[in-house]
Amino acid sequence: MNFALGTHMPSYLHNATKVSSKYTHMRSLPSCLLIMCTLALTGCSHLPVSKQNASQERPTSASTDNPSKSNITNKDNATSTSKDTENKPPKAIKDTTTQINDKYLKAILEAEFTLQREGTEKAFGPFYKLTEQTKNTALAKHLLRIATATQNEQDIEKSANLVMSIAPHDQQAYALKFQVLAQSQRSNDAATLLESAIKHHVKLDFLPIYADENIRSNEIMGTLSDTLVLLPAQIKRNEFIQATKARLLFSQGHYTESAALTKTLIAAHNNLHKAPIYLILAYSQDQLGSRNKAIQTLEKGFANYPNEPQIITPLLNFLVQANQLKESKHVYQTAKLSPLEQIQAGIRYSNTLLTNKHPELALETLNHLPANHYGLQDQILYLKATALYQTGKKKAAIQSMQHVKGALLNSATNQMALWMYNEGREKDINKMVLDRTPPQYISDVVTTISQLHEEEHHPDLSWQLLTEALKKYPQSNALRYHKALLAENMNHWQDTIKELKVLLSKDPKNPQYLNALGYTLLTRTQDTKQAMNYIQQAYKYDPKDPAIVDSLGWGYFMLGKLKQATYYLNQAWQLYPDSDIAAHLGESLWQQKNYSQADSIWHQALQIRQSSPLLMDTIKRLNPSLIEKHATPQQKESTQ
């Protein structure tokens, strides 16, 4: 069953914040974290099961210590059932194996040795056998961690089944098995598992968490929907089942139904952590065109959860978009966040303010962030510089952006280049780029800025930047190749040939270099034979590259072999309908008096892509009336 996600799905539902959880997710764990010393295993075995489980079920996730970091974390650790299914908790199951016998000690040591030396896959079998023999809960937990680390769904399901047979109220085992069943689209088995969980008083708060993390997966959300349909009516009333249903309704675009259900869940007395429920209701209302109601809902949520960033951030976004700046400022200043959360919320708030052209308040917010930036100083500096530029302090903005380093260094460089163009300081850009860009980024940054120069009709500055960069980094093939192509565009084709030969001396089988050199010789010199030699070599190494196939076809055209030319040019057109290829294919067809086919190719090229000068020149030379019939005003202007 496939469901189309909402067109304007909130980022909360697209990107669930990853936090440490008491549920072990199916992702790799370092083997060292799985290694349990034998004394600990035997020591744990002296505890009665009831005590073991009490300690194991004590909440350790971010849902208790820091609930704001999970979109669907439930704070209350009371067992979750509907009123119809609520019974007294079962008595502790007596552990018949309260101590691991000495006869198993050697086997445990050997299994641990296998785990350390050969990894989780090899260790799973021995540990499974030991757990099956001893029925020891500590070993069962250890087995579950090993199975999770293997990433093998069969091992995970097998170990979860064994753990549930030993400790039928173990929540982690149910959560892991449910993931396996959902991922394999086994909705009937998943429904049976949830019924068993309810029967054994297992809290189902892992279910909405799993839905939240997989909200973008049509297959998994479809399986969840099918699973809920199969449940008995009594179990469907469970609050965590209902919370999951609310997410499903929203993801399916049933906003009226999701709004109605979330209102009911908010009003009810239950074990749900309701911050994400407020959020689903607000986004449902917003999708229904009631932005004011959405704001009111989030304000109620904020009143109840003033320490929840997942409520605060969308509320701030809505208030800013509604131009309620005073209210947004009050929400941000009264939020009860930790220093780190305050910085994160402040960054997001400032970004929203800048997007909506409120730089003064953004700058004020950024200037009052806690002194400890927790490694986020570059994001803060970037936003401060942007705010300064929007307020008209452009020189100060560029100076501030100069200090941005780290992951945002390249973005800052690109932004400064754009600002410097706006300020008429384009001649200062190259020095700025070369001074601040470290070697590992030089190729990407110089290429980007070179393209900016060319777009701004300053190929001379692009040439200068590439030349200076190659003096500092002569080993950069990417920069040399870009310079070769630029030289051809500037009619310095002798430099193109020179640079390409340097590249081929280092990488003689590179199809791009071979094709570029061959095409340059083909179009700029009379040495057609040598040109075709290079192009044919390129085709040998990469026969599916449309640029190479086009060059080969155009080479045959230059040799007067029109049928071969048309064959390869048509192949290139099928690979990639580019305007330059259309120019070549159309001309080959035209020369064979296939005028209607040529016109058809040119007409398609005029419709589907921005026309190249080559295409427009070819049509103007061979069939200028086509331009009057089909070209856009901009295309017509380019031919004048």
pLDDT tens column, 123-151: 899 989 999 998 988 889 999 999 999 88
The 10s digit of each residue's pLDDT in 288-319 is 999 999 999 999 999 999 999 999 999 999 99
Residue with tokens 């079920």: 57
Query: Is the confidence at residue 544, as pLDDT, over 60?
Result: yes
pLDDT at 66 > cutoff 70: no
Between CA 237 and CA 246, with CA 243 as vertex, the angle to 5 degrees is: 105
Residue 119's CB: how many other CB atoms inside 10 A? 15
Domains 1-236 and 405-508 are alike in CATH topology: yes
Q: If you average pLDDT over residues 426-436, what whole number do you get? A: 98
Q: Is the pLDDT of residue 1 over 80?
A: no
Structure tokens at 102: 């000495």
The domain defined by 1-236 carries CATH number 3.40.50.920: no
Closest to 295 measured CA to CA, from 274, 324, 330, 266: 324
pLDDT score at 57: 32
Average pLDDT over residues 239-258: 96
Q: Could you tell me the sign of the dihedral formed by the alpha carbons of 387, 390, 393, 398, in that order? A: positive
What CATH number is given for 405-508 in this structure?
A: 1.25.40.10
pLDDT at 101: 65
Arithmetic mean of pLDDT, 385-395: 97
Could you tell me the pLDDT band of residue 271, with boundaries at 50, 70 and 90?
A: confident
Alpha carbons 122 and 125: distance in angstroms, whole number: 7
Taking the C-alpha atoms of residue 347 and residue 366, their distance in angstroms, rounded to an integer, is 7
Helices 309-321 and 339-355: crossing angle in degrees, nearest 10, is 20
Gap between the Cα atoms of 25 and 21, Å rounded: 8
The reported pLDDT for the residue numbered 71 is: 36
Q: Report the mean per-residue pLDDT for the chain.
A: 85
How confident is the model at residue 540, as a pLDDT? Answer: 98
Give pLDDT, residue 46: 33
Q: Which pLDDT does position 638 carry in this prediction?
A: 58
Helix/strand number for the chain, H first, E second? 39, 0
Confidence at residue 589, expressed as pLDDT on a 0 to 100 scale:
98
Q: Which of 33-37, 118-122, 399-403 has the lowest mean pLDDT?
A: 33-37
Cα separation, 615 vs 617, whole angstroms: 5
Burial of residue 58 (number of CB atoms within 10 Å: 0-12, 13-18, 19+): exposed
How long, in residues, is the chain? 640
**Is pLDDT larger for residue 244 or for residue 372?**
244
User: What number of CA atoms fall less than 13 Å from residue 362's CA on the CB side?
Assistant: 27
The residues spanned by each domain of the chain are 1-236, 405-508, 577-640
Confidence of residue 65 (pLDDT cuts 50, 70, 90): very low
How does pLDDT run across 598-632, given as a tens digit for each residue? 999 999 999 876 678 999 999 999 999 998 776 66
| 227: its two tokens | 């699973």
Please tell me the predicted confidence (pLDDT) of residue 559: 97
Alpha-carbon distance of 201 to 199, in angstroms, equals 6
Cβ(156)–Cβ(24) under 8 Å?
no
**Most confident listed range (98-112, 135-149, 492-506):** 492-506
Count CA atoms within 13 Å of residue 531 on its CB side.
22
Which of 175-179, 368-372, 493-497, 559-563 has the lowest average pLDDT? 368-372
Question: What is the per-residue pLDDT for 608?
Answer: 78
pLDDT at residue 76 tops 70: no
pLDDT grade, residue 372 (50/70/90)? Answer: confident
Distance, CA of 609 to CA of 578 (rounded, Å): 7
Residue pLDDT, tens place only, 566-604: 999 999 999 999 999 999 999 999 999 999 999 999 999
Tell me, what's the pLDDT at 106?
84
The stretch 475-490 carries a mean pLDDT of: 97
pLDDT at 9 over 90: no
Q: Are 555 and 532 in contact (CB under 8 A)?
A: yes
**Are residues 261 and 245 in contact, defined by beta-carbon separation less than 8 angstroms?**
yes
